[in-house]
């Protein structure tokens, strides 16, 4: 594995930068550093597109919405939604988790891991069970009820699609919980995690950051070899594996370090900006 300062691993032609947010582009206080802001702007001025690829829903994109520059595209909810941040988070594409499938996953996890609590992320809001910890972002549209009630077709808004099912356990170790959940529900849905706690994120089958990024790149005629990706947690592994060049942050999970082709500095040390600056130096040197 090469370091961020070793330019030999960077492709000759970089057309797109795909970066996770929390723990990657954002510092721990959820801010974007001035150095990172400048690097993103310089990349786009050089003709390199920047995609924000995150587990966050579109309405939690305020941290970066003012830094979208010319592109405005974000892949949210681990690939379940593509949004245009220039248009206030307008949904361009949704890859939903069908409610019957979500209910089947709920039933499987309740049986395998007693004590689980659930939340449902939809295109219109956030909904959770009474014992599920509320999100740190206030959402006025939140409703509370059992997962079975919240996922009921009869109780749902026909215009509201489920984009992510979330499940917590107070006692299980995070990676062990993910392994268990994939064992009992992995054939029904895509399961991953991005939190240091025992919080799992569940999307429709085949939905991931990687699969949606691949679709978006194909629409633009961009190959995986022309993409440089950044991430720090297991929900980034598929994306880092798919991209031609990828970097694990200095603060990354061991699975991410193993999957990435390179490693950069931690999120609090502007690891993404360091690599972007190297990409631009290489580009200018060839011109």
**Same domain, yes or no, for 252 and 278?**
yes
Structure tokens at 152: 């009921």
Q: Residue 56's domain is classified under what CATH number? A: 3.40.50.1000
CB 33 within 8 A of CB 245: no
**Same domain, yes or no, for 66 and 198?**
no
Structure tokens at 57: 């829903």
**Same domain, yes or no, for 191 and 276?**
no
Q: Grade residue 7 by pLDDT with cuts at 50, 70 and 90.
A: very low
Q: Which range among 34-48, 80-94, 133-147 has the greatest average pLDDT?
A: 34-48
**Same domain, yes or no, for 169 and 84?**
no
Q: Which domain holds residue 86?
A: 2-95+208-286
What is the value of pTM for the model shown?
A: 0.91
Which of 203, 225, 246 corresponds to the end of one domain?
Answer: 203
**Same domain, yes or no, for 139 and 229?**
no
Beta-bridge mates of residue 17: 50, 228
**Same domain, yes or no, for 269 and 184?**
no
Which of 162, 180, 203 corresponds to the end of one domain?
Answer: 203
Which of 183, 203, 223 corresponds to the end of one domain?
Answer: 203
Which has the closest alpha carbon to 210: 233, 243, 184? 243
Token pair 């030999």: residue: 8
Token pair 């799992």: residue: 200
Contacts of 203 (CB under 8 A, 6+ apart): 77, 78, 79, 80, 95, 97, 163, 164, 165, 189, 190, 192
Count of domains forming the chain:
2
Q: Residue 159's domain is classified under what CATH number? A: 3.30.1240.10
pLDDT of residue 137: 63
Q: What angle do CA 205, 245, 181 make, to 5 degrees?
A: 30
Which has the closest alpha carbon to 235: 79, 45, 101? 79
Contacts of 27 (CB under 8 A, 6+ apart): 33, 267, 268
**Same domain, yes or no, for 148 and 20?**
no
**Same domain, yes or no, for 103 and 199?**
yes
Residue 27 pLDDT > 80: yes
**Same domain, yes or no, for 195 and 113?**
yes
**Same domain, yes or no, for 74 and 107?**
no
pLDDT of residue 223: 97
Average pLDDT of span 227-245: 97
């Amino acid at each position: 594995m090469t370091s961020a300062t070793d330019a030999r691993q960077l492709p000759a032609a970089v057309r797109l930068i795909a970066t996770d947010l929390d723990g990657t582009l954002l510092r721990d206080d959820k801010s974007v550093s001035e150095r990172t802001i400048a690097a993103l702007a310089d990349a786009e001025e050089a003709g390199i597109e920047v995609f924000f690829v995150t587990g966050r829903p579109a309405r939690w994109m305020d941290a970066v919405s003012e830094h979208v520059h010319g592109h405005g595209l974000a892949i949210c909810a681990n690939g379940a939604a593509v949004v245009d941040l220039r248009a206030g988070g307008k949904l361009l594409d949704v890859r939903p988790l069908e409610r019957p499938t979500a209910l089947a996953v709920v039933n499987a996890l309740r049986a395998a891991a007693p004590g689980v609590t659930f939340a449902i992320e939809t295109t219109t809001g956030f909904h959770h069970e009474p014992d599920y910890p509320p999100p740190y972002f206030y959402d006025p549209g939140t409703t509370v009820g059992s997962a079975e009630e919240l996922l009921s077709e009869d109780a749902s808004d026909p215009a509201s699609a489920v984009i992510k099912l979330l499940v917590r356990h107070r006692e299980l170790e995070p990676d062990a919980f993910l392994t268990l959940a994939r064992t009992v529900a992995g054939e029904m849905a895509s399961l991953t995690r991005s939190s240091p706690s025992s919080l799992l994120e569940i999307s429709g089958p085949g939905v991931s950051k990687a699969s949606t990024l691949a679709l978006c790149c194909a629409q633009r005629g961009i190959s995986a070899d022309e993409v440089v990706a950044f991430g720090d947690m297991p929900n980034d592994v598929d994306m880092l594996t798919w991209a031609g060049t990828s970097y694990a942050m200095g603060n990354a999970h061991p699975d991410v370090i193993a999957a990435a082709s390179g490693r950069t500095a931690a999120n609090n040390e502007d690891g993404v900006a360091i690599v972007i600056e190297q990409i631009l130096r290489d580009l200018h040197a060839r011109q």
